[in-house]
Structure 1
Amino acid sequence: MVKYASAVSGDEASAEDLVQEAWLRCDRAAKAEPLLQPARLLWRILRNLSIDRGRRIAIQSRTVVASQDDPRWENLPDDRLSVEDLLIAREELVLIQRVLDTLDSRTRTAFEMHRFEGAKLREIAERLGISITTAHGLVAEATRLIRAAARRD
């Protein structure tokens, strides 16, 4: 069984562990209900565990693990914002803040709950004591005003 697990999983080092795990699972199944063909079940469990182990090894081998001095880092995309992108984002936030400052408190609260807190329209309606349709209208109005200000800017 160890040779079989090793061949199927491609991992000699964990083959004995796979056989032991298969045995334990088969034993648990036998305690739950009588088995008609326990040997067959044991081999099936071992096969499935070995295949899963082989898949995990394949996935792990594709994972890049390297120090920052490794030349492979040069080929990876940089996820940091450029200074220009950072400045543009800050300008957009200032613009949004200016528009939010002009809104009445109910519209502003509805928009902030929806966009910043991720609240659903139902939650906004309950908190503000309004209908879901009204909550939707408030969020839509704030969004429209922000987009219009962005287009003008």
Structure 2
Amino acid sequence: MKEGLDPRFALYLSYRAVLIDYASYLLGSREGAEDLVQEAFIKFIPSGGSRTPTARPRSYLFRIVHNLAVDVLRRKRLENLRSAHNAPVWAGSQAAATPEETVLYHESERRAMDIIAGLPEKQRVALEMHRFGGYSVEEVAAHLGVSVPTVYRLIQAAVATVTIRLEQDSGGRE
């Protein structure tokens, strides 16, 4: 470590370059890696403390960087999955170019609302609160008295049911 510096800052200077290289390898982006390494040091060094939090800081820092990179990659994968699947017609209003398309859209929307009304209560409430009411999954979970993963499953099942039934009704036109 460098002499005369705050030990925490000396740690940062000592390991920054190698951690950025490692995070760049994991993320495929140097800019993202730099942000990730800064976040890792914020998590690593306790606020207000003058000593390092562990006897093996290098290993601990690599583990923090790895875990943060996994989180970032997982988040990106979920975002890509969501954007790759276009929202179904019933999920929100879309501009229709012709009167015929407008009629078909409104019929699909009406049919989707009928299907949603026929869902099991917890699925219906979770879908309506989250997708249409703007509530977070945590708020929905608290309202229904279930866990957050259960809310995700309820919403996913509801969306799948509505989408499948609409496709069956339209014979694949959607």
TM exceeds 0.5? no
Higher Rg of the two aligned structures? 1
TM-score by length of 2: 0.40
